[in-house]
Amino acid sequence: MRHLLDRYYGKGGYTLDAARDPGGLTRAMRAYFKGDIGVIDTLPVETTGTPFQRSVWRALRKIRSGKTISYAELAGRIGKPKAVRAAGLANGQNPISIVVPCHRVIGSDGTLTGYGGGLPRKQWLLEHEGARAPAA
């Protein structure tokens, strides 16, 4: 996590303070894993990144729980239908997985592809959210 923070905010560009429930995040994540899938939609998100990355991450937050889209559809949703690979790279660089649900993006042929947490975790998350998860 520190590596990602250094990458996005620069070494020394952030501080980490211990908090029991920062902004309700702990409570929301516990609720999510207990089955209240929609609770993550209520969490505010603020990230750094290029304008292109942020557009991809905003589009990810608009994918409804229980649904999946392809990388091609993701690129189309941000108005860059030819930027499928770039959208996929931005998807993979998402610094707030689950809350910014990059796991909801699958291959155009319906297969599970790429996930920083591993394909078994991606499949579990999709099943947890009620999406019909294709096999890895």
Active site residues: 102
**Neighbouring-strand partners of residue 46:** none
Beta-carbon contacts of residue 128 (< 8 Å; ≥ 6 apart): 33, 35, 37
Q: How far apart are CA 81 and CA 99, in angstroms?
A: 24
- Assess contact for 28 and 39: CB atoms under 8 A: yes
How far apart (Å, rounded) are the C-alpha atoms in residues 9 and 7? 6
Q: Is 113 exposed, middle or buried, given 0-12, 13-18 or 19+ CB atoms closer than 10 A?
A: middle
